[in-house]
Amino acid sequence: MALLEVEEVFVRFGGVTAVAGVSFAVDDRQICGLIGPNGAGKTTLFNVISGIYRPTEGRVRFAGQVVTGQPRHRMAPLGLGRTFQNLALFRSMTVRENVLAGAHSAGHAGFLANALRLPAARREDAAAAGRAAQLLAMLELEAVADVPVADLSFGTQKRVEMARALICGPKLLLLDEPAGGLNHGEVDGLAELLRDIRARFDLAILLVEHHMNLVMRVSDKVVALDFGRKIADGTPEEVRSDPEVIRAYLGDGGSHAHAA
Amino acid sequence: MSAAEQTAAVPLRRPETTVAGWQRAALLLAGLALAILPAFLLESFQLFQLTMAVIMALAVLGLNIVTGYNGQISLGHGAFFAVGAYVTAILMSHLDWSFWATLPVSAVVCGLVGYGVGFPALRLGGLYLALTTFSLAVAVPQILKHKAIEDWTGGVQGLFLVKPDPPSWAPFDPDQWMYLVAVLVSAACFLLAWNLIRGRIGRALMAIRDHPTAAEAMGMDIATLKTRAFATSAMITGIAGSLSAVAVEFVAPDSFTFALSISLFVGMVVGGVASILGSLFGGLFVLFVPNIAETVSKAAPGVIYGIILIGFLFILPDGFAGLLRRLYARARRGAG
């Protein structure tokens, strides 16, 4: 059984069909790239998987359980971590506090237990602080740990989001355009980081990305969308040489080649 | 600033920022001693005023939990203050309860009322919530005057009650004892609020304020957290109301007008939005600055108050807490 199963998902906004019957699966420990030209429905599909949108038809299973229609805050405890396309950090909080906020679903202590600092609350806090320290070290955020996130560069903030998504030990990490806004060197670093994360945290990654080079380099499997339909699904080599993918990216005239 | 520059500017191994347990305990004791001292130094009326300032600080703290930390604007916290005051007054004057016994009841009643208000608050964001809570603040004094409950509330006349008696072993007069009671109850609430805010729940409240979508993706149940934040906030402000009832020895609907809610809001902004310690300063400000204004001009104290307020916000736009933060940062840089 695959970790994530997307089954015949349709999303319609009024008369527009953004996603038209897409199915694919992501296995444990697999890095899957979701690609497609602008407007192909990648982000819509991403939002369906992360629970932001409810599909018009079809469903998503995660670890064997149907998750479509679940309240949004139930996704993280199931083992679904995510980052956002445009940064979505808690701006007034420091780097460390942001990462600790990511550990929310690992804890249970409520208002009373926290106000009284009951042993359970202390234990949870200590455990979260320990994991946060490890992640800050791994993502080279130690030096800025106690700086408000709003003061940091874009690339650094992206690493904070990654740490925040990882602290709960997700089984699947959803990354929405992680390379967006990064320079060449930073993209190289990201490719390495993604493989490193998979190895260390024993998780699968679903990557929605414009940056073809990155997707082809790190993915075990690539799913290509165009006009809301799945046009290819396979290894990076298979997808890269698929005639429909080439047509979608290069156009019939083949005038602007942005597929690397 | 890029990450590389940050790395260069800050030493990689920073000194431990957490204070050792015994240091924290010593600091707490010193603070408590400092807070108790005025009971033996001030005249009766000044001590009463300081008592009221401490009570206002506690009420501001309550407002800060829901508005400062959780971003839900309430212009009606005077209503919870009134409910707390009346619960204590009714139990003491009709049923002869001791003040201490009324505190938990007042906390529970205000918590429930706050929880109830929290529900519509889920659907009403920002300015709409401000208006809804505003109407609550306007309605409560009128409800308290209503004929149907006049037997309990005393109607327009209000209710008289007496300060809690100092224990026989203690060499305090009732005013000193009242001050100490206010300080102890408030200190306990401040400590609990501090614990709450620096832990898992506090981070969740701030996360929801800063970015609700991301907060949900982290597994935070916004509806539950927001309503509970409202309940907690109302509970704290209600306890302040209970204290005020016995400190003044009298409750009446007109003590809890809409102006009280605005006072609390002013106290929160002046003290520092989303600051525990700032709430303390906010309480002192809203109690003493109107008096100062009155001594400057008997004819137009409101104008003087307004000028002081604007001047204060001009000099310290992020409140008293912002000043403290800057001083602290400077001291740390100086030390490092």
B28 touches chain A (CB under 8 A): no
Give the CA distances from residue A255 to residues A37, A180, A209, A258, in Å, rounded to whole numbers and listed in that order: 15, 24, 22, 10
Strand (E) or helix (H) holding A31:
strand A31-35
Q: For residue A39, is pLDDT > 90? A: no
Residue A12 sits in the same domain as residue A37: yes
Residue B285 lies in a domain: no
Number of domains forming the structure of chain A? 2
* Residue among B10, B192, B210 whose CB faces A90 most closely: B210
Q: How many domains does chain B have?
A: 1
pTM value is 0.90
Do A128 and A230 have their domain in common? no
Confidence of residue B336 (pLDDT cuts 50, 70, 90): low
Q: Is B137 exposed, middle or buried (0-12, 13-18, 19+ CB in 10 A)?
A: buried
Chain A residue numbers with beta carbons less than 8 Å from the beta carbon of B2 are 153, 155-156
- Indicate if A176 and A258 belong to the same structural domain: yes
Give the residue numbers spanning the domain of B195: 37-162+171-255
- How many Cα atoms occupy the beta-carbon half-sphere of A229 within 13 Å? 5
Instruction: Check if the beta carbon of residue B259 is closer than 8 Å to that of residue B76.
Output: no
**Residue A85 forms part of a structural domain:** no
Residue A111 in domain = yes
Would residue B216 count as lying in a domain? yes
CB A134 within 8 A of CB A151: no
* Nearest residue, CB atoms, A77 vs list B202, B215, B219: B219
A52 and A96 share one domain:
no
Of A76, A140, A156, the CB nearest to B218: A76
- State the Cα–Cα distance between residues B304 and B306, nearest whole angstrom: 5
What tens digit of pLDDT does each residue of B300-331 get?
A: 999 999 999 999 989 998 899 999 888 988 88
Residue B274 to residue A147, Cβ atoms within 8 A: no
- Cβ contact A101–B204 (<8 Å): yes
pLDDT at residue A256, as a whole number: 45
Q: Are residues A115 and A223 in the same domain?
A: no
Residue A52 · residue A162 · CB < 8 Å: no
B265: in domain: no
**Is A28 inside any structural domain?**
yes
Per residue in A57-74, pLDDT tens?
999 999 999 999 899 999
Q: Locate B19 and state its tokens.
A: 């204070």
B171 and A CB contact within 8 Å: no
Say whether both A174 and A73 belong to one domain.
Answer: yes
Partner-chain contact B203 A101, CB within 8 Å: yes
| Structural domain ending residue among the three candidates A167, A182, A207 | A167
The answer as to whether A84 is a domain residue is no
Residues of chain A found within 8 Å of residue B14, distances taken between Cβ atoms: 146
Shared domain for A258 and A154, answered yes or no, is: no
| pLDDT of A259 strictly over 90 | no
Domain boundary among A167, A197, A226: A167
Q: Tell whether the torsion through CA atoms of B35, B37, B42 and B44 is positive or negative.
A: positive
CA dist list (Å): B2 to A155, A165, B329: 8, 22, 21
Q: For residue range B165-211, list pLDDT tens digits in order.
A: 898 898 899 999 999 999 999 999 999 999 999 999 999 999 999 99
> A136 and A34 in one domain?
no
Domain identity same for A194 and A226: yes
Q: What is the chain B residue with the closest CA to A88?
A: B214
**B73 and B261 in contact (C-beta within 8 Å)?**
no
Residues counted in chain B: 336
Is the CB of A111 inside 8 Å of chain B's CB atoms? yes
Q: What is residue B27's predicted lDDT score, i.e. its pLDDT?
A: 86
Same domain membership, residue A177 and residue A158:
no
DSSP states of A160-204: HHHHHHHTT--SEEEEESTTTT--HHHHHHHHHHHHHHHHHHT-E
Stretch B9-21: mean pLDDT, rounded? 48
Whether B11 is in a domain gets the answer no
Whether residue A70 lies inside any domain: the answer is yes
Domain limits at A141? 91-167
Last residue of a domain, one of A144, A167, A190: A167
Question: Is there a single domain that holds both residue A186 and residue A260?
Answer: yes
Nearest CA in chain A to B216: A73
Tell me, yes or no, whether B101 lies in a domain. yes
Does pLDDT of B98 surpass 70? yes
Q: What are the backbone dihedrals phi and psi of residue B173, each rounded to the nearest 5 degrees, phi first?
A: -85, 165
Chain A contacts of B201, Cβ < 8 Å?
109-111, 114
Can you tell me the mean pLDDT for B84-104? 96
Residue contact B200–A109, C-beta within 8 A: yes
The answer to whether residue B313 sits within a structural domain is no
- One domain for residues A159 and A174: no
